[in-house]
Structure 1
Amino acid sequence: MPPNTTATTGDKPGKSGRKKGRKGRLVVLVLVLAVIGGIAFGAYWSISTVRASFPQTTGAITLDGLSGPVDVKRDGYGIPQIYASSDEDLFMAQGYVQAQDRFYEMDVRRHMTSGRLSEMFGKGQVKNDEFLRTLGWDRVAKTEYDETLSASTKKYLQAYAKGVNAYLKGKDGKDISLEYAALGFTNDYKPQEWTPVDSVSWLKAMAWDLRGNMQDEIDRALMTSRLSAKQIADLYPEYPYGRNKAIVQEGQYDDLTGTFEQGSGTSGSDSASTSGTGTSTSTSTSGTALQSQLSGLYNVLDDLPTAVGVNGNGIGSNSWVVSGAHTITGKPLLANDPHLSASLPSVWYQMGLHCRTVSSKCQYDVTGYTFAGMPGVVIGHNQDIAWGMTNSGVDVTDLYLEKLSGEGYLYDGKVKPFKTRDETIKVAGGASKKIVVRETSDGMPLLSDRDDELVKVGEKATVDTEAPDRGDGYGIALKWTALEAGTSMDAVFAMDKAADWSDFRAAAKKFDVPSQNLTYADKTNIGYTLPGKIPTRAKGDDGSIPAPGWDSTYKWTGYIGQDELPYEFNPKRGYIVTANQAVIDKDKYPYTLTTDWGYGTRSQRITSLIKDKIAGGGKISTDDMRQMQLDNSSEIASKLVPTLLKIDVDDPDVREAQKLLEDWNYTQDADSAAAAYFNSVWRNILKLAFGNKLPKELRVKGQCLLVDPVDTTAPADDTTKVRECGQRDADQAQPDGGDRWFEVVGELMDDENSHWWTTPKSGTRPGATDNRDDLFRRAMIDARWELTAKLGKDLDTWSWGRLHRLFLKNQTLGTEGPGILQYVLNRGPWKLSGGEAAVNATGWNAAGGYGVVWVPSMRMVVNLDDLDKSKWINLSGASGHAYSAHYTDQTDKWADGELLPWSFSKDAVDDSTSDTLVLKP
């Protein structure tokens, strides 16, 4: 992406003489006039450019390829509802309208998924392109399009592409988006026509960011260099099935039929696999090789751009459904809020797709959240059913350490040849780069080919500059379900027109990657189903750590049959909650789905809120569901604060901060000083207890102060203490502070003398800690001085929102473009409530500070009694055009927890319509 540019300022004029002073003032005046002139020019250039690319939303436009007229009705937020008389017209119009609002975003996405970012942004993206070419998402997508997708799906993809290209026809980059005009200053990039494969590839990018436990595999393997098996087990506790309920609580696996059956009962035998912390065969066989390969892979993964998540980390979501027995309308309610990276524009695009008359010629009447660049609706409702999604977290990736030998790799004592292909990466403003991609015979790409440092391990032969680890040594290969052609695109269209539970289940079976928890509701029923292509492994292998690729006993043995996967339909309790917790108790199911569930903090809180509401016959409303989505309570605070308040503190300033916790209800509101102090204490507990004990390969450069500037109104009063805190924090591994760490610390609370509570004396900091309370005391001291530096000494000015802020940044030029473009494209900050593993999951990473890094990317509540009384909101707005009225027009309301009316029926859509555009054949 374009390099950063930084502005410089001159020294202040001197005061040693009148002439010198006048000269200085003259210089300042000239500089000010130059700045004003530059801003004026920039403002004129940007505004005129942006306006030229705004979409036409009224009148009529003729599109070649339509078979009949299409109406595009936009409400006051620019959200379009499309009305057509054939499926092909409907999806062609969807492509046209999404391109009007979001084509630059669509173009960047397809260049990412195909490993062609360098064509747009130059040599800075070559390494990323090399890795993405090695994964080969677009190659798999093309195979899907050619070989596995249905004829009707291909027809819809073609129609969508035709609509996008109708929009592009005759337009230069500057006519499409401000970003293209900016890119035009540095290269001659021109947008190319859209293809059906561009749409399918996006599902691969989504699957990558929702891929499951690959990072945990790497972490556990690296920990073996410094930690014992017991210590690693401390950091990866068992899922608390007894406390935090699994999603599926009714039903059983039938050993005789090999299917999962609805209804209460006990499980089948645990014969197919075992659970636990994994085997250590690969690390004991070639520990040095594996350690070096994985630590190098860390750097490659961290640099990759994200699709919808934070490179596979921190991704969660909430979705729950309540039966009509517990609602005020007597009909089900369904809520969903996926937790994804904060991006501008939002990853979601709201839209309605309506056939004027539903028939065999035109089959869809659906509305909800779409991806710009892909036809259909991903999450939402049609005239009969509603559905939501959360990431299941099932383990669909495995890393293998491969022994390399000459031009091949070792497998069961024999050398097998790699499959190879040549790739040429075109670079804007530079020479093309050629690489060679190598795969094992069963399609596993060799990730280690993409980092020069990785290939030095065990290397014995002369290197080839294009495939640098040719010769003997070791490499890392990836097995992943998304690298096989699938049918997820078929599933999207099938869900969009499903009329009942049976239709929905049939559609879900086609949704192979990424594996998602699917919640369901119609006017009388609620349900849940787990779809996905989920591998089975040999007995004793749970996929929790990398495996030896040279031993065939560690290869996947097959896939779980779709009829074997857990589901629930109208459970007796009357509600279903999914929030990335375990899908089913491990002793009730014969397959290990993963060893790395979310730990159920959010799911249990949502369950408690539902049960509290219906206790004594209470009924739940649409607004009750919205309020539940906004719950800010901190589970880890409820565990730790009682102990923190019992600790004697001598320093009156620290005692003043400690007193903030005395009357606190553990709610992380934006205006809460107690929430600010507690979260700082929590972060410092993690640093002290674990930061200096993890392997150096896991260490992250960090300091006590935030990367993003804090809303500071007062200077630090004790700069010495703050500076030392930063020095001590440097080069330490930092836990991210998610609900796995809630469980880790919660398990250790009763062991007051655990070795995890010990820390050495550091400089002039408080003395070494030998037990839990000493460490907690030191964390409270450090937190007090950290927040003094950030927020000032006066506790009356402290608030969580001043620390916990959301910046929305354009994902390309808004992060690495010239400063003027960042100013034009980016928005924020917003001071937010919520926190890590709260239901209102405005996530922050304790390794890097308190800033918001993932968010409820949208929120919706579907009312099955009256669909027009459903509610929704998006993180940003419909438009990807800076300075459009709809660029971030939903964000203030989103931050305040509000939801917008969600019109569905034709009368309701007509009432809410502000602009109407007619697309004519």
Structure 2
Amino acid sequence: MPANTTASSGPSDAKKPGRKKGRRARLIVLVLVLALVAGVGYGAYWSVSTVRASYPQTTGSIKLDGLSGDVEVKRDSYGIPQIYADTDADLFRAQGFVQAQDRFWEMDVRRHMTSGRLSEMFGAGQVETDSFLRTLGWRQVAQKEYDEVLDESTKKNLQAYAEGVNAYLKGKDGADISVEYAALGLTNDYKPGKWTPVDSVAWLKAMAWDLRGNMQDEIDRSLLTSRLDADQIADLYPDYPYERNKPIVERGTVSPVTGKFDPAAVPSPTGLGSQTAQGATQGLNTQLSALSDTLDEIPALLGPNGNGIGSNSWVVSGDHTTTGKPLLANDPHLAPMLPSLWYQMGLHCRQISATCQYNTAGYTFSGMPGVIIGHNQDIAWGFTNLGADVTDLFLEKVSGDGYQYDGKVRPFTTRQETIKVAGGRDRTITVRETNNGPLVSDRSRELDKVGQKAPVGNAAPDRADGYAVALKWTALQPGKSMDAVFELNRAKDFTSFRRAAQHFEVPSQNLLYADTKGNIGYQAPGKIPVRLKGDGTLPSPGWSAEYGWKREPVPFDELPYEYNPKRGYIVTANQAVIDESAYPHLLTKDWGYGARSQRINDLIAQKIKGGEKVSTDDMQKMQMDNTSQIAALLVPELLKINIPDPSVREAQKLLEGWDYTQEPDSAAAAYFNGVWRNILKLTFGNKLPKELRVKGDCLNVPPARSSGPVDEQKRLVRECGQRDGDTAQPDGGDRWYQVVREIMDDQDNEWWKAPAQGREDALVSRDDVFARAMKDARWELTAKLGKSISTWSWGRLHRLTLKNQTLGTEGPALLQRALNRGPWNLGGGEAAVNATGWNAASGYEVVWVPSMRMVVNVGDWDKSRWINLSGASGHAFNANYTDQTDKWVEGELLDWSFGADAVGESTVDTLTLKP
């Protein structure tokens, strides 16, 4: 849930005293309950007992209707369950029951989000979010998948899972399930309903939405046209540096003989170029800016609105490991949340047979059966975001009757959606769709006036009423990704692994592979569109038949893969999949730029070239690598600049001898990242159109809390007040590493120039910018960390707070302290392997993290290691709520038991589920 999702009724409360009073009463009661839980005041014992009533029963036995035999649930000291059953149905029925025990509040909120029904739980404040999600129609697509597309065995597993969830819910009131329901019960009569198989399928749409690729880049490029020319925009979106940062697949192409991808085939130039539909969006910046603002309000459960979404995974062949078998590492970079997005568990058939086919363990999603990332008895697999461009925005010429296409007016496809609102009146919206998809612009108040100004250039005929924006997205077509989850869990070799990958249509993920026979591999899957015209980097004219998508996506047989490459390892970290000059299909123009991936490649290559074998400890150490690639580029030049101000010179000296590692206690890392942030602001921030503003915190604090010169403090406070928290500067990700790298050697490049402002001189060269950035960073960190640089550290700036994703994001401070945890001072940083991401447009706070880490010891499974960001439990005061976080912060991993003997040794609680 996003920060704006609370158990309140939003702005309309101000007009409804009764509801406002109810909300206040609810919060007061919750605060009192939580204070009592903490042992404050009379009645503490009763309150603790009340809260603990929702904790899972983990010992003894429970009758579970529908089982064909006994099922054992063995939990270790971290509450991680391993389930043992004799049939598939019993296994997944038990999985549903156990996940509901630990995480049902999270599951319930999530299914309301995916179906556009948050208002039923949280009131009128969620109506706009629900309206947008109803427009996208995630739930309708999930229903079609279940009814028309998914395999019968998949549907049986989904049904068994749902029955297990419902068995847990049977006879329970909300307060028996989670303390959050007690809060809701004070203001509305919401009761959790039964779980359905489609509730599970719909979660894949949320995954796909947050991993959808370059949609925000498509909007931003269009907005940039208001102030920048084509060459300047190209400067801000440079080509991928294939010569420096290796793609995932280094050889091969689609064979002209077989028509399939062949890792041994020799490529010839493809001639793929950059074709855009720029003319379609001239003059529509206001509308696109409004759409961007609308997207910012949509829940981003996997990451901060698609920004920074990435992951690391790599596999090393047994020829180069100390174990003699492959080692596979994975750490997806997602939004920090409480509880963690991931849920660790094992699913074990006591005996593999036709009626019980699974022996697998790893990371699951609460609300979905099966294992998403992990291993079974034969293979291991990992995921990273491929980043394929699977969305396009189309500018539509619309009237009251329909939309124009190929010279004719076509009628909209429409449907009515009724949004039920807790404590308020129902709302009804009309969803309109064109041949390119739903009109997402209908959900923005600003976009109601779209089309008052006609575009220029490649303009639509101007005889209709206006313009609207449609979204075409592969995830809005029914697919078989849920089938792929179970197929991956059962896969035994690379052939069956690729067969499963063929069905993993959305979201498109890099799939990494290793098996007990010593093989390693990679497959790029996904439903990736083939465009008739254009390259997806800008919105296209929806009225023209020249644009759009071909009926069939890129054939799976033509997607890149590798199997036992000669180098002996494979790295996927969101870099380019394959050199576009060697490959006939356009996957995207907006790859990650390879800072993380190349660092991992270099670390592995150094070990191998040095004649060393890679160990499990080495893999774990690589995951915590904090090296800053942009620091290695900039610091040598920063140190050459003569700084006369002794205070700034004192800070500059921190960079002397620094090894570019970003440890939490590093003052040099703190200062450098401050300099980097200010370089971006000075070089690009004031040159970007105001529509690209990123909402963030002010850089500075009032003068009373700082010790810089008085005039400097006045300037900072004045600047903060003028921005009022809005900035127009880059986020500082590895795209900006490449942007700055390409102009580094051009001291007089126009990007380095800026006019005089106030008492500050004009900037006319690169070194002018660097000198000013060092000065500004000195006083920014003085304001934040104190005058004495001896007290500075990166971790004090770069902090992680885990927030309960509903009631922990707003409300009284006492309530937030009770539900939330932290802060923790972290090392790492943006585009480091230890990718504790921060957004330079808004501050240094950690906004995405390695949401879990694992190192799989293939074949010797019990020597594998894993860690979660928080813990197994979603209950705020349970011992397993955040019991893994401290170890996660330190880069530690837990032993990962898999075999029956190892699981038995680690078990502390056993629950038997009986028919």
Question: C-alpha deviations, 1:308-333, integer Å up to 9, x for none?
Answer: 12111110100000000100111100
Which amino acid is 1:845 matched to?
A: N
Q: Which residue does the alignment assign to 1:653?
A: 647
Structure 1 residues 357 and 782, CA, compared in 2 at 3 Å: closer, same or farther? same
Displacement of 1:45 after TM fit?
Answer: 7.5
Question: Structure 2: how far apart are the matches of 1:423 and 1:596?
Answer: 35
The residue matched to 1:334 in structure 2 has which SS?
Answer: strand
Alignment of 1:235-384 (within 5 A): 235-263=236-264, 265-268=265-268, 270=270, 274-276=272-274, 278-283=276-281, 287-288=282-283, 290-384=284-378
1:668 to 659, 662, 665: 662
Q: Which residue does the alignment assign to 1:23?
A: none
Displacement of 1:43 after TM fit?
Answer: 6.5
Which amino acid is 1:420 matched to?
A: T
- Conservation of the 8 A alpha-carbon contact between 2:210 and 2:303: yes
Which amino acid is 2:664 matched to?
A: A
- Conservation of the 8 A alpha-carbon contact between 1:638 and 1:666: yes
Structure 1 residues 308 and 700, CA, compared in 2 at 3 Å: closer, same or farther? closer
Deviates more, 1:505-514 or 1:553-562: 553-562
Question: Structure 1: how far apart are the matches of 2:514 and 2:696?
Answer: 46
Question: Structure 2: how far apart are the matches of 1:797 and 1:326?
Answer: 43
1:610 to 582, 586, 604: 604
Displacement of 1:34 after TM fit?
Answer: 15
Task: Confirm whether residue 716 of structure 1 aligns to residue 717 of structure 2.
Answer: no
2:580 to 577, 581, 586: 586
Question: Structure 1: how far apart are the matches of 2:212 and 2:179?
Answer: 33
The residue matched to 2:823 in structure 1 has which SS?
Answer: strand
- Conservation of the 8 A alpha-carbon contact between 1:398 and 1:546: yes
Structure 1 residues 59 and 218, CA, compared in 2 at 3 Å: closer, same or farther? same
Question: Structure 1: how far apart are the matches of 2:43 and 2:224?
Answer: 51
- Conservation of the 8 A alpha-carbon contact between 1:3 and 1:817: no
Question: C-alpha deviations, 1:464-503, integer Å up to 9, x for none?
Answer: xxxxxx9811000000000000000000000001011111
Question: Structure 2: how far apart are the matches of 1:497 and 1:446?
Answer: 40
Question: C-alpha deviations, 1:179-224, integer Å up to 9, x for none?
Answer: 1111112211110000000000000000000000000000000000
Q: Which residue does the alignment assign to 1:601?
A: 595
Displacement of 1:255 after TM fit?
Answer: 2.3
Question: C-alpha deviations, 1:732-766, integer Å up to 9, x for none?
Answer: 412000000000011110111111111222223x3
Displacement of 1:342 after TM fit?
Answer: 0.4
Which amino acid is 2:852 matched to?
A: M
Displacement of 1:818 after TM fit?
Answer: 4.0
The residue matched to 1:553 in structure 2 has which SS?
Answer: coil
1:746 to 711, 734, 741: 741
1:522 to 515, 533, 542: 515
1:479 to 453, 462, 472: 472
Q: Which residue does the alignment assign to 1:81?
A: 82
2:496 to 494, 497, 503: 503
Deviates more, 1:294-303 or 1:696-705: 696-705
Displacement of 1:704 after TM fit?
Answer: 4.2
Displacement of 1:875 after TM fit?
Answer: 0.2
Deviates more, 1:596-605 or 1:406-415: 406-415
Displacement of 1:703 after TM fit?
Answer: 5.4
The residue matched to 2:53 in structure 1 has which SS?
Answer: helix
Question: Structure 2: how far apart are the matches of 1:787 and 1:167?
Answer: 52
The residue matched to 1:400 in structure 2 has which SS?
Answer: strand
Q: Which residue does the alignment assign to 2:896?
A: 902
Question: Structure 2: how far apart are the matches of 1:719 and 1:298?
Answer: 39
Task: Confirm whether residue 229 of structure 1 aligns to residue 224 of structure 2.
Answer: no
Question: Structure 1: how far apart are the matches of 2:310 and 2:481?
Answer: 20
Q: Which residue does the alignment assign to 1:493?
A: 486
Which amino acid is 1:182 matched to?
A: A
- Conservation of the 8 A alpha-carbon contact between 1:88 and 1:155: yes
Structure 1 residues 118 and 4, CA, compared in 2 at 3 Å: closer, same or farther? closer
Question: C-alpha deviations, 1:144-183, integer Å up to 9, x for none?
Answer: 0000000000000000000000000000000000111111
Question: Structure 1: how far apart are the matches of 2:452 and 2:418?
Answer: 26
Q: Which residue does the alignment assign to 1:467?
A: none
Question: Structure 2: how far apart are the matches of 1:569 and 1:739?
Answer: 29
Displacement of 1:36 after TM fit?
Answer: 8.7
Which amino acid is 1:486 matched to?
A: G
The residue matched to 1:352 in structure 2 has which SS?
Answer: strand
- Total equivalences in the alignment: 873
Question: Structure 2: how far apart are the matches of 1:140 and 1:727?
Answer: 50
- Conservation of the 8 A alpha-carbon contact between 2:378 and 2:859: no
Which amino acid is 2:367 matched to?
A: G
Question: C-alpha deviations, 1:325-374, integer Å up to 9, x for none?
Answer: 10011110000000000000000000000000001010000000000000
Question: C-alpha deviations, 1:764-800, integer Å up to 9, x for none?
Answer: 3x31111110111000000000000100001111000
Structure 1 residues 277 and 770, CA, compared in 2 at 3 Å: closer, same or farther? farther
- Conservation of the 8 A alpha-carbon contact between 1:138 and 1:201: yes
Structure 1 residues 47 and 685, CA, compared in 2 at 3 Å: closer, same or farther? farther
- Conservation of the 8 A alpha-carbon contact between 2:412 and 2:433: yes
- Conservation of the 8 A alpha-carbon contact between 1:713 and 1:791: no
- Conservation of the 8 A alpha-carbon contact between 1:713 and 1:792: no
Task: Confirm whether residue 763 of structure 1 aligns to residue 758 of structure 2.
Answer: yes
Question: Structure 2: how far apart are the matches of 1:3 and 1:663?
Answer: 53
Q: TM-score, normalised by structure 2?
A: 0.93
Q: Which residue does the alignment assign to 2:26?
A: none
Which amino acid is 1:456 matched to?
A: K
Structure 1 residues 818 and 666, CA, compared in 2 at 3 Å: closer, same or farther? same
Which amino acid is 1:254 matched to?
A: S
The residue matched to 2:199 in structure 1 has which SS?
Answer: helix
Question: Structure 2: how far apart are the matches of 1:241 and 1:308?
Answer: 28
Question: Structure 2: how far apart are the matches of 1:633 and 1:416?
Answer: 55
Which amino acid is 1:178 matched to?
A: V
Displacement of 1:269 after TM fit?
Answer: 5.0
1:446 to 410, 418, 439: 439
The residue matched to 1:815 in structure 2 has which SS?
Answer: coil
Which amino acid is 1:282 matched to?
A: A
Structure 1 residues 337 and 552, CA, compared in 2 at 3 Å: closer, same or farther? same
The residue matched to 2:809 in structure 1 has which SS?
Answer: helix
- Conservation of the 8 A alpha-carbon contact between 1:255 and 1:268: no
Displacement of 1:725 after TM fit?
Answer: 3.0
Displacement of 1:822 after TM fit?
Answer: 1.5
Question: Structure 2: how far apart are the matches of 1:871 and 1:713?
Answer: 48
Q: Which residue does the alignment assign to 2:716?
A: 725
Question: Structure 2: how far apart are the matches of 1:420 and 1:390?
Answer: 36
Q: Which residue does the alignment assign to 1:29?
A: none
Displacement of 1:721 after TM fit?
Answer: 1.7
Structure 1 residues 400 and 911, CA, compared in 2 at 3 Å: closer, same or farther? same
1:2 to 1, 7, 13: 7
Unaligned 5+ runs, structure 2:
1-5, 11-31, 454-462
Displacement of 1:40 after TM fit?
Answer: 3.5
Unaligned 5+ runs, structure 1:
6-32, 461-469
Alignment of 1:618-629 (within 5 A): 618-629=612-623
The residue matched to 2:644 in structure 1 has which SS?
Answer: coil
The residue matched to 1:860 in structure 2 has which SS?
Answer: strand
Displacement of 1:669 after TM fit?
Answer: 0.2
Displacement of 1:719 after TM fit?
Answer: 5.2
- Conservation of the 8 A alpha-carbon contact between 1:253 and 1:268: no
Deviates more, 1:851-860 or 1:809-818: 809-818
Q: Which residue does the alignment assign to 1:184?
A: 185
- Conservation of the 8 A alpha-carbon contact between 1:407 and 1:471: no
- Conservation of the 8 A alpha-carbon contact between 2:277 and 2:541: no
The residue matched to 1:437 in structure 2 has which SS?
Answer: strand
Displacement of 1:702 after TM fit?
Answer: 4.6
Which amino acid is 1:632 matched to?
A: N
Which amino acid is 2:474 matched to?
A: T
The residue matched to 2:396 in structure 1 has which SS?
Answer: strand
Displacement of 1:258 after TM fit?
Answer: 1.8
Deviates more, 1:108-117 or 1:401-410: 401-410
Structure 1 residues 683 and 3, CA, compared in 2 at 3 Å: closer, same or farther? farther
- Conservation of the 8 A alpha-carbon contact between 2:678 and 2:776: yes
Which amino acid is 2:643 matched to?
A: V
Structure 1 residues 795 and 562, CA, compared in 2 at 3 Å: closer, same or farther? same
Structure 1 residues 554 and 913, CA, compared in 2 at 3 Å: closer, same or farther? same
1:513 to 474, 484, 506: 506
Structure 1 residues 517 and 379, CA, compared in 2 at 3 Å: closer, same or farther? same
- Conservation of the 8 A alpha-carbon contact between 1:872 and 1:901: yes
